[in-house]
Amino acid sequence: MKSIRKSDWPDNLYNLLFEGESYSSDAKTLELAISYLKNKKYQDIILYRYRDKKTYGEIAEIYGISKDRVRQLINKIIKLLRRNKSEVILRYGIDNRPKDDIDINFLGLNSRSYNTLQKNGLVKLEDILKLDVKELARIKGLGRKSFIEIVDIVKEYGYKVPEGVKSFTLYNRYKNREDE
């Protein structure tokens, strides 16, 4: 991790996230992507390490944890940033990202939802958008929580979803009907 000290923010973290691939090095975009991390502690730790260039020991002292635990958390945060929807923001920028061409790897889905979509051949956001709500609910292996997670992500990307789709009752109605 000597490269952290050699390069400046935000290039030090961009280089780690993209490992030689092309990207738009912009601190504002990177901080926006980090803000998508749900855990405030994760946001702070990654910024301490890469923006403020603090050592594992300095971060460990702030949080009262071991240096090894800080290293583990940073590795976890990097994985989250790589897999998360924030990677889409980092790759395509804020305003010009191709919404429906996004690979489901970058949607920030939990493992169960991701694996179920993959097994059913749904690998891009556009594949999900081609389905109506009834077809989505009937995907084999897709439970209520995954259904709701996917519906929320579709909404996040600005696509319309019928009112009430978030209710478990509606999910059950769609899931169990064959001839609608």
Q: What angle do CA 56, 57, 63 make, to 5 degrees?
A: 90
> ω into residue 162 within 30 of 0, thus cis?
no
Query: Residues in the chain, how many?
Result: 180
Percent of the chain predicted with pLDDT > 70: 69
Q: pLDDT (tens digit, 9 = 90+) per residue, 99-157? A: 556 777 767 788 899 899 999 999 888 888 888 778 888 888 888 888 888 888 777 77
- Answer whether residue 72 shows pLDDT above 50: yes
Extended beta strands in the chain, E state: none
Q: How far apart are CA 180 and CA 177, in angstroms?
A: 6
- Do residues 32 and 69 lie in contact, with contact meaning Cβ atoms separated by under 8 Å? no
Q: What is the pTM of this model?
A: 0.53
Quick one: tokens of 22? 């092309």
Which SS3 state, helix, strand or coil, does residue 111 take?
Answer: helix
Model confidence at 8, in pLDDT bands (50, 70, 90)? confident
Q: Which of 129, 128, 156, 155 is nearest to 142 (CA)?
A: 128
CA distance 50 to 52: 6
Tokens of 88: 């889409």
21-35 pLDDT, tens digit per residue, is 666 667 777 787 788
Q: CB neighbours of 68 closer than 8 A, spacing ≥ 6?
A: 56
Report the run of H or E that residue 127 belongs to, with start and end. helix 125-129
